[in-house]
Amino acid sequence: ETGVTQSPTHLIKTRGQQVTLRCSSQSGHNTVSWYQQALGQGPQFIFQYYREEENGRGNFPPRFSGLQFPNYSSELNVNALELDDSALYLCASSLPGLAGKETQYFGPGTRLLVL
């Protein structure tokens, strides 16, 4: 176990709705990254937060947003849901280290289905 938890485990929404996914990082890990994994694909980087500030973003539209809190928890918010947003959403926590060399510890993911 990595010590990273996510909730809920599964979620069903309809197009146009908004969703909030939650992640609890390992204690002491002040960096959290979010990834989207479509069926049969490798995870795609959405964004990273470090000390409650966005610290890098992948090729995702602004309707994907995040928050990080001082208690090592974080949220991924997606507005105006589209069918293609159906995927497994993974969060990963890490300690800041030599850039790019730190290990990211993944949670089990939240599976989102958009109908």
Partner 1 sequence: AQSVTQLDSHVSVSEGTPVLLRCNYSSSYSPSLFWYVQHPNKGLQLLLKYTSAATLVKGINGFEAEFKKSETSFHLTKPSAHMSDAAEYFCVVSRNQGGKLIFGQGTELSVKP
Near partner 1 by CB under 8 A, which window of 11-19, 35-43, 61-69, 74-82? 35-43
- Taking the C-alpha atoms of residue 82 and residue 18, their distance in angstroms, rounded to an integer, is 10
Site pattern 70..99 for partner 1 (x: CB under 8 A): --------------------x-x-x---xx
- Taking the C-alpha atoms of residue 45 and residue 60, their distance in angstroms, rounded to an integer, is 9
* Residue 15 Cβ vs partner 1, minimum distance, rounded to whole Å: 26
Q: What angle do CA 88, 106, 101 make, to 5 degrees?
A: 125
- Which burial class, exposed, middle or buried, applies to 83 when counting CB atoms under 10 A from its CB (0-12, 13-18, 19+)? exposed
2 lies in the binding site for partner 1 (CB under 8 A): yes
33 lies in the binding site for partner 1 (CB under 8 A): yes
Q: Which chain residues interact with partner 1 by CB under 8 A?
A: 2, 4, 31, 33, 35, 40-45, 48, 50, 55-58, 90, 92, 94, 98-109
